[in-house]
């Protein structure tokens, strides 16, 4: 195949991570995001697979929206290592010239994406929560760049930032899990599968994987819950400004969870804002831990129902839960930002409101 120039860059690539022989859930979410962008641009979605003994899994991404699977099957890629994986992605991108390349914003994506961007001398936008297609006007040269991938991420204040890569290709971005819904698998979809021959140098194996050890799994599964009840620093005071034991709020959340699970059979988990976790309250020790953190530096979730109890709703928290189907917020501050995005905003004392909600659920 003829080697393309960067001016001919085309197609949206997605790096696919494997989990027990299957594409990971977050990778399937990113395929959905890529499908949205590619359809707007009139381009294709290419899933990129690296690993060993891939023949039984190379067709899976096609079921979930990919038009082609580009893969390297090599024993030296059996276990993830940053240098040989970066080498393969670099060589594949130099050969095929993708328009954009998307990664999951997890440990592997955050390791690979910046290395690849540096080698390809292109831009990188990290931790995106949305992707769009639009144009960018550059004032100094009065130039308008059309059909750009708009990379949208929270900034460090109270807003979101839109990031553009007008001149360099590929546009590289990492996308936070939980912001897109994977497409339903379609076994009837067909697509291409293309193999790429690995070529390594000694410098690619300066680091050697000696072994892999699984970390203990947590019992907290925020992403898998139908309903989430999250607590914030507002639980420290009631509606009259009187200090409250935060354990009382946790117990209320547990009672609400039990009522919802008993009434509708929903899987319910208790979450938390970052502020409450890092407050280090002894009353919540072992109960409100980092595994329960929702927001920019925690988990991104989209349950059927999300309760925000005593959470003000800074952008760092909102980006982690704003795609919930129904949001119920209880806050004594009528100007709390969380109330603006809630379907059911309640201005009131959570220590009075939540028992009434529990009572109504159990009564009916």
pLDDT per position as a tens digit, 133-173: 999 998 898 999 999 999 998 876 557 789 999 989 999 99
Q: Residues 170, 296: one domain?
A: no
Is 42 within a domain? yes
Q: Residues 199, 234: one domain?
A: no
Q: Residues 145, 263: one domain?
A: no
CATH number reported for the structural domain that contains residue 241 in this entry? 3.40.50.1220
Please tell me the distance from the alpha carbon of residue 247 to that of residue 37, in angstroms, as a whole number. 46
Question: Averaged over 74-90, what is the pLDDT?
Answer: 94
Please tell me the distance from the alpha carbon of residue 60 to that of residue 270, in angstroms, as a whole number. 34
Cβ atoms 143, 161 nearer than 8 A? no
Cβ atoms 48, 80 nearer than 8 A? no
Q: Residues 272, 325: one domain?
A: yes
Range of the domain at 195: 6-205
Is 214 within a domain? no
Please tell me the distance from the alpha carbon of residue 220 to that of residue 268, in angstroms, as a whole number. 10
CATH number reported for the structural domain that contains residue 109 in this entry? 3.40.50.620
Cβ atoms 126, 33 nearer than 8 A? no
Is 220 within a domain? no
Q: Residues 146, 284: one domain?
A: no
Q: Residues 334, 248: one domain?
A: yes
Confidence of residue 8 (pLDDT cuts 50, 70, 90): confident
Q: Which two tokens stand for residue 136?
A: 């960018």
Q: Residues 196, 239: one domain?
A: no
Count of domains for the chain: 2
Under DSSP, is residue 27 helix (H, G, I), strand (E, B) or coil?
helix
Half-sphere exposure of 331 (CA within 13 A, CB side): 26
Q: Residues 120, 153: one domain?
A: yes
SS3 content of the chain, % helix, strand, coil (to 5): 30, 25, 40
Q: Residues 156, 254: one domain?
A: no
Is 357 within a domain? yes
Model pLDDT, residue 5: 60
Q: Which residue has the higher pLDDT, 232 or 55?
A: 232
Q: Which residue among 141, 175, 205 closes a domain?
A: 205
Q: Residues 266, 121: one domain?
A: no
The mean pLDDT of the chain is 92
Q: Residues 233, 352: one domain?
A: yes
Is 213 within a domain? no
Q: Which residue among 205, 240, 272 closes a domain?
A: 205
Model pLDDT, residue 6: 57
């Amino acid at each position: 195949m003829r080697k393309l120039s960067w001016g001919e860059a085309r197609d949206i690539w997605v790096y696919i991570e494997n989990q027990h022989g299957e594409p990971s859930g977050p990778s399937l979410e990113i395929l959905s995001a890529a499908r949205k962008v590619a359809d707007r641009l009139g381009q294709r979605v290419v899933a990129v697979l690296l690993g060993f003994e891939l023949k039984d899994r190379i067709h899976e991404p096609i079921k979930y929206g990919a038009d082609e699977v580009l893969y390297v099957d090599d024993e030296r890629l059996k276990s993830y290592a940053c240098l040989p994986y970066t080498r393969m992605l670099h060589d594949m991108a130099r050969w095929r010239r993708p328009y954009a390349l998307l990664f999951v914003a997890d440990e592997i994506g955050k390791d690979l994406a910046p290395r690849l961007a540096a080698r390809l001398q292109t831009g990188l936008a990290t931790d995106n929560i949305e992707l769009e297609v639009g144009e960018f006007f550059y004032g100094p040269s009065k130039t308008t760049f059309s059909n750009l991938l708009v990379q949208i991420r929270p900034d460090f204040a109270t807003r979101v930032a839109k990031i553009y890569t007008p001149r360099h290709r590929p546009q590289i971005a990492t996308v936070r899990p939980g912001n897109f819904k994977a497409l339903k698998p379609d076994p009837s979809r067909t697509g291409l599968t293309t193999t790429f021959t690995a070529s390594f140098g000694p410098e690619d194996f300066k680091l050697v994987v000696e072994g892999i050890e699984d970390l203990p799994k947590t019992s907290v599964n925020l992403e898998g819950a139908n309903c989430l009840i999250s607590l914030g620093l507002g639980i420290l005071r009631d509606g009259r400004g009187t200090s409250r034991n935060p354990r009382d709020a946790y117990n209320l959340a547990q009672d609400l969870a039990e009522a919802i699970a008993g009434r509708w059979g929903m899987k319910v988990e208790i979450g938390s804002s970052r502020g409450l976790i890092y407050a280090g309250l002894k009353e919540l020790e072992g109960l409100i831990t980092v595994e329960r953190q929702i927001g920019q530096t925690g988990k991104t979730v989209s349950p059927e129902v999300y309760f925000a109890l005593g959470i003000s709703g800074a952008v760092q928290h909102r980006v982690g839960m704003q795609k919930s189907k129904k949001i119920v917020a209880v806050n004594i501050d009528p100007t709390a930002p969380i109330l603006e995005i809630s379907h059911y905003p309640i201005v009131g004392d959570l220590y009075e409101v939540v028992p009434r909600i529990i009572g109504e659920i159990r009564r009916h």
